[in-house]
Amino acid sequence: MKLSWLLGPRPAAPRRDVPPAFEHLRELQALADQHGDRACGTAGYEAAARYVEGHLSGCGYRSKRQYFTVKDRGRTIETFNILAETTSGHPDHVVMLGAHLDGVPGSPAINDNGSGVAALLEVAGAISRHAGLGSTVRFAWWGAEEFSKSHGSRRYVKDLRKNDPEELRRLRAYLNFDMIASPNPVIGVYDARDAGPIHAVPAGSTEIMDVFTGYFDSRGQPWIPTDWDYDSDQIAFVKAGVAAGGLYTGDSDRKTAKEARLFGGTARQPCDPHYHRPGDDLGNVHPEVLGLMTDAITHAVVRLAS
C-alpha cells in the first residue's frame, strides 16, 4: 500500500484529505452522538460492535462474539470480544492483531480507541484481498479494556491457556493498536529492546519491532521507542510468552522539545489533551497519522504472515 501521509517538522494539524480509515471514525462519532458513548455494557458499545461486524461481513469474514462478565463497583456487566480470521493461511501459524472497542463513559472515544478500531477494519479489508499469505491472520476487537485490567484480552488468553493450550502455541505474534491518531502525536513503537521491563520480552518481539521500524526508516519517517509495559491489551499475551509489538501516538504525557523537532506539533503540551475526556472526538484526531499507522500495520501483517 502506498504511503501518502508522511510526518515532517510542521504543525500536527488535520488536513482536508483523509485516509480511508477516517471514514470509520465518522461512523463511530455518529454512534457516539446517538448513544452518548461506547462504554462497556451500553447501547453504544452494542451499536459499535454491529458496525464492526457489518464491515467484516462485507469483506467476507465470519465474525463471532466471545461473551464474558466484568464486575465493577458492585455491578456485573456482560460484554464481549469480537473475533474474525482469514480462511486461508496455515492454521498452525497465526498472526493476531487487536484493538479495544470500548471507550470511557461520557466520551466519544475516537482516538482512544476508535483509531485502533478503524485501522484494524481497514487492514482486515486489505488482507481479505491479499492472496498468498502463508499464515492465518486473526483480528480481535476487545471489550472492557477501560478498567483497571484489560478484561477482554485477559479473558481470551485465559480461556486458551485453560481449554486450548495448543491453540495458544499457534500464536506466533500479537500486535496491539491503542491510540494511534493523537492530535499532537509522536510515532511510537513498542520497545522490545527495553533492558529492564516489568514483563519479560518474549522471543520474537524484537523481530516485530524491526518490521515496524524498518518500514518507517524506509520512508524517512522518524520514530521513537515507547514503553514496553504500556498498559493495554498486549500484556496478557506477553505474560503468556507470545511475541508482541505495537504502535502508539501518545496520551496525556507532554511532548518533549526533542519530540516536537522530530514530529512537529507543540512541545510541552499533551500528545492528546482530550484523553479520557468528552473532547476525544472527530475534531481532535490527526488523520494523516491514522493513515500512516494503517499503512504500517498493513505492511507488518503482510511481512509477518508471508
Instruction: Select, from the ranges 59-63, 70-74, 145-149, the one with the highest average predicted confidence (pLDDT).
Output: 59-63
CA dihedral 113, 100, 147, 103 (to 10 degrees): 40
* Mean pLDDT on 71-90: 92
Query: In this predicted structure, what is the pLDDT of residue 10?
Result: 34
1-10, 129-138, 229-238, range with the lowest pLDDT = 1-10
- Residue 274: closest CA among 264, 263, 286: 286
How many whole angstroms separate alpha carbon 180 and alpha carbon 22?
Answer: 12
Note if the bond before 81 is cis, omega within 30 degrees.
no
Confidence of residue 230 (pLDDT cuts 50, 70, 90): confident
Q: Which domains does the chain have, with CATH numbers?
A: 21-305 (3.40.630.10)
Q: Which amino acid is present at 8?
A: G
CA dihedral 87, 92, 97, 103 (to 10 degrees): 90
How many whole angstroms separate alpha carbon 210 and alpha carbon 204?
Answer: 10
β-partners of residue 85 are: 138
Residue 282 has pLDDT above 60, yes or no: yes
Cβ(173)–Cβ(98) below 8 Å: no
- Write out the three cell numbers for 57: 461481513
- Write out the three cell numbers for 208: 516485530
Cβ(98)–Cβ(245) below 8 Å: no
Residue 202 has pLDDT above 50, yes or no: yes
How many whole angstroms separate alpha carbon 188 and alpha carbon 76?
Answer: 35
Could you list the active site residues? 145
Query: In this predicted structure, what is the pLDDT of residue 123?
Result: 98
pTM of the model: 0.93
How many whole angstroms separate alpha carbon 192 and alpha carbon 167?
Answer: 24
CA dihedral 224, 98, 1, 170 (to 10 degrees): 100
Query: In this predicted structure, what is the pLDDT of residue 240?
Result: 96
Cβ(153)–Cβ(237) below 8 Å: yes
Query: In this predicted structure, what is the pLDDT of residue 74?
Result: 83
* Mean pLDDT on 171-189: 98
Confidence of residue 177 (pLDDT cuts 50, 70, 90): very high
